[in-house]
Amino acid sequence: KENPIPAKIVCVRNKANRKDWLAFICTDTTLSEEEIIRVYGKRWQIEVFFKTCKSMLNLIGECRSLSYDALTAHVAIVFTRYMLLAMEQRQNEDQRTLGELFFFLVDEMADITFHRSLGILMDALMASLQEILKLSDEQLTAFTADFEARLPKYLRNALHPESIGA
């Protein structure tokens, strides 16, 4: 052709039929093969979602209005139907409850406490002050005491939780 478009083709064995191959074509040649497959997987889930909404949840044929507001409301209702059905399916097929999943994710994300993150910020501030302004230890101690005195009580308590009980 006159204006060829550079593309990358990635071939993957079909999981459903091990004798077949699937070929993915991507015009972003900077992406790795793994990234192309990952993006395709996400896009495929979206395609399945729309196919389900069109064929099983009447996304196309149910609303005959030409009003933008009516069409928007119809799409929202169809998507809500899908979410309710997907939620019901998940509850019937997955032995874990939403509460268990929530606590699992919360435990995974609870890497750092507020007290610890505030301490990290204070340490970084002190190191920067000492490095840039060349403050002595005495000046840094005076600055820290003055700075902490200006903080609200809940932040002072977070910086020094051991002093709360005293």
pLDDT at residue 109 greater than cutoff 60: no
Of the two residues 165 and 44, the one the predictor is more confident about is 44
DSSP assignment of 132-143 equals HH---HHHHHHH
Decide: 8 and 36 in contact? Cβ < 8 Å. yes
DSSP assignment of 91-107 equals HHH-SS-HHHHHHHHHH
pLDDT at residue 104 greater than cutoff 90: no
Decide: 159 and 122 in contact? Cβ < 8 Å. yes
Mean pLDDT value of segment 84-88: 84
Between CA 144 and CA 150, with CA 149 as vertex, the angle to 5 degrees is 105
- 15-59 pLDDT tens trace: 778 888 888 899 999 999 999 998 888 888 888 888 888 888 888
Mean pLDDT value of segment 104-122: 69
Q: What is the three-class DSSP state of 23?
A: strand
Return all residues near 60 (Cβ < 8 A) that are at least 6 apart. Answer: 54
